[in-house]
Structure 1
Amino acid sequence: MKKWYSGEWSFKIIVLSIKPNNEPQNHCRNGHQPGDQYICGYACPGGFCSKSMLKSFPLMEAVRSGGNLRNLGGCQENIIEFDCPDGIVKFRLEAIKQSQ
């Protein structure tokens, strides 16, 4: 694969918790565990849950287009927490501006 575009933003996704008791083997079908971290730009990070990517991608696009994640419920301009579509895993998305 040859990338032709260097994005302005990268994203760190951190697994905060697994409901109900942080036991991923019993609840998270993808096997996420608290503390797991994923770094990505535009592409889906390897090993990350595809269903959760459906929720995180619009958040990433909001940042890429100049938006403020506070307007979407974030605690800071470039940080937001969200649950996976199944309501089992809680993630934190952090947008990181790349120096160019």
Structure 2
Amino acid sequence: MNKTIVEDWEFTISVIRQNPCRMGFEVDDTFYCKYECPAGFCPKTMAVLHSLCEAARAGGDYTLLGGQAKNQIDFFCADGVIQFRLIANHIG
């Protein structure tokens, strides 16, 4: 594989509230990614995560979606049992 695009965003996704789920996530489990899917992340919730990451890459402001800051938003998994906190950081 030869990646030709240098990513200028990185994302931190942390579990902030849990209920039993198939993935076994627990509070403080943390995932990191740039463009790729985070290793071990829930495949059902990946569509939600991808949309939020794309919003940041396009210059979006998470406060317009109910986020706590321009680069931070809490969201639920596809099943509504896990709550995540996403933090987007521009590195380029």
The two structures have a TM-score, normalised by structure 2, of 0.95
Residue 17 of structure 1 aligns with which residue? 17
Matched, 1:66 2:59: yes
| Residue-pair matches, total | 92
What per-residue deviation string (whole Å, max 9, x for no partner) do you get for residues 38-91 of structure 1?
Answer: 000111010011111111111100000111111111110000000101010000
Q: What is the identity, as a one-letter code, of the residue corresponding to 1:10?
A: E
What per-residue deviation string (whole Å, max 9, x for no partner) do you get for residues 17-56 of structure 1?
Answer: 113xxxxxxx210111110110001110100111111111
**What SS does the corresponding residue of 1:51 show, helix, strand or coil?**
coil
Q: In percent, how many aligned pairs have the same letter?
A: 41
Query: Which 5+ residue runs of structure 1 have no aligned equivalent?
Result: 20-26
Higher helix fraction (1 or 2): 1
The structure whose Rg is larger is 1
Separation in 1 of the partners of 2:14 and 2:63?
18
Root mean square deviation of aligned Cα: 0.9
Name segments (4+ residues, structure 1) moved above 2 Å: none
Residue 49 of structure 1 aligns with which residue? 42
Query: Which 5+ residue runs of structure 2 have no aligned equivalent?
Result: none
The two structures have a TM-score, normalised by structure 1, of 0.87
Separation in 1 of the partners of 2:74 and 2:33?
17
